[in-house]
Structure 1
Amino acid sequence: MPARRVKPSRCISVDIEADGPIPGPYSMLSLGAAVAGTQDADGFTPADPEEHTFYRELRPISADFVPEALAVSGLDRDRLAAEGTEPAVALAEFSAWVRAVSVGAQPVMCGYPASYDWTFLYWYLIRFTGESPFGHSGCLDMKTLYATKAGLPLRAVAKGTMPRHLLSRRRHTHHALDDAIEQAELLANLLAWPGPGGAAPAPD
């Protein structure tokens, strides 16, 4: 029997900034995404993460927020209430962008860690567009990927514990697009990494 053809995955690094711990009572304030590359049966082919990107700042959906969470991004809720993109518009534009950059492949949301960003992203997609271009489970958690390859318990993992050659040389700024681009480079490095017993990639 011939081998079943595996449809490639288009890996899309996504980062969100929010003003609280969960969507609904609190709001996603910004959404950044960058195409990290394509994974197929032959491996992963990285892309230039600055080539195909998406960024929107969103109008808050409630009056509630956690000051400490809001302070992480430094976004101005009052400005976003007046100038932010309506969530239904932003998420429809995002879905269209995902489908456009994923022609011929299945889109996969990739995050570090994916749990927080996916929670907000999926909730917003279903709430404001009624569907998700990633389906209900098309996400990859880079933290879990590293823990598995490194042979470590998940809760022992932090970026500060990773070998430096795996990390992007870009700063983590808590600007959603900057961080999506940074984490796209982390994903490419993780997928190329053979694990702690293998050789580190040669420096650029």
Structure 2
Amino acid sequence: MRAGLRRGYGARMGSSDLYFSCDVEADGPVPGPYSMLSFGLSVAGSFDGSVFTPRDPREHTFYAELKPVTDGFVPEALAVSGLDRDALVAEGAEPGRAMSEAARWVRERAARERAFPVFAAYPLGFDWMWMYWYFVRFAEGGSPFGHSRALDMKTLYAARAGARVRDSVKAKMPRRLLPARPHTHHALDDAVEQAELLQNLMMWDGRP
């Protein structure tokens, strides 16, 4: 990624990455013993190798609340999202249906733009772990992002700023990079908020 990428709308058809910002809320630290309760996806923009084209992150979104796949949960993790786990047991979407619909939505959005879908999150490790595991286990056709088409916003900031990863936190970022939207721990709200962070990082000239 070069500093100071131009904002524009002339990306070559078939040569762009299309970034999907994602946020996950779960009831524990890892998939398998615990469950993903909700996730949100937001189209953040496209990049053709020289031009980043931002999108309104509220325009193209996907959100689902899922039926838990295990009985185990960590109360402290569950409390972060405020979701009602008992209600999700009764009324949450079946993971197979939700993940298949999400995968199809990602593929269709990317196909319309003849672009490659890229998963983006802050930080990547947690959200990718959950989404990849759920896509592989439950979605028809598996992961629409393959096994590695993903971008970590934390690492992107560290590389662009010349900062240590441990210092690459929002509290230490220049104020103009920070999203205007609040971080609510609602998965779709936070996917949209972090799409704005990605846009700011992609168009940042690297100066404080």
CA distance in 2 between partners of 1:76 and 1:35 (Å): 27
Deviations 1:10-64 (A, max 9, x none): 0000001000000010000001000001110232100000100000000000000
| Residue 136 (structure 1) aligned to one of 147, 153, 162 | 147
**Cα deviation, residue 188, structure 1:** 0.4
SS of corresponding position for 1:24 = coil
**Which ranges of structure 2 fall in alignment gaps of 5 or more residues?**
1-12
Letter in 2 for 1:167: L
Aligned to 2:23: 15
Alignment of 1:89-168 (within 5 A): 89-103=97-111, 104-129=114-139, 131-168=142-179
TM-score (norm 1): 0.92
Letter in 2 for 1:180: A
**Which ranges of structure 1 fall in alignment gaps of 5 or more residues?**
198-204
**Cα deviation, residue 133, structure 1:** 0.5
**Cα deviation, residue 100, structure 1:** 1.3
| Residue 75 (structure 1) aligned to one of 75, 79, 83 | 83
CA distance in 2 between partners of 1:13 and 1:92 (Å): 18
Task: Give the aligned length.
Answer: 193
**Cα deviation, residue 155, structure 1:** 1.1
Give the conservation status (yes or no) of the 8 Å contact 1:114–1:142. yes
Give the conservation status (yes or no) of the 8 Å contact 1:9–1:40. yes
Alignment of 1:50-69 (within 5 A): 50-69=58-77
Aligned to 1:175: 186
CA distance in 1 between partners of 2:14 and 2:58 (Å): 27
CA distance in 1 between partners of 2:97 and 2:194 (Å): 25
Give the conservation status (yes or no) of the 8 Å contact 1:6–1:41. no
**Cα deviation, residue 6, structure 1:** 7.3
CA distance in 1 between partners of 2:182 and 2:167 (Å): 22
Query: Which is worse superposed, 155-164 or 135-144?
Result: 155-164
CA distance in 2 between partners of 1:155 and 1:6 (Å): 36
CA distance in 2 between partners of 1:35 and 1:43 (Å): 16
Aligned to 2:195: 184
Q: Note the aligned Cα RMSD (angstroms).
A: 1.2
| Residue 206 (structure 2) aligned to one of 195, 199, 203 | 195
**Cα deviation, residue 156, structure 1:** 1.4
Give the conservation status (yes or no) of the 8 Å contact 2:14–2:115. no
Give percent identity, aligned residues only: 59
**Cα deviation, residue 131, structure 1:** 1.4
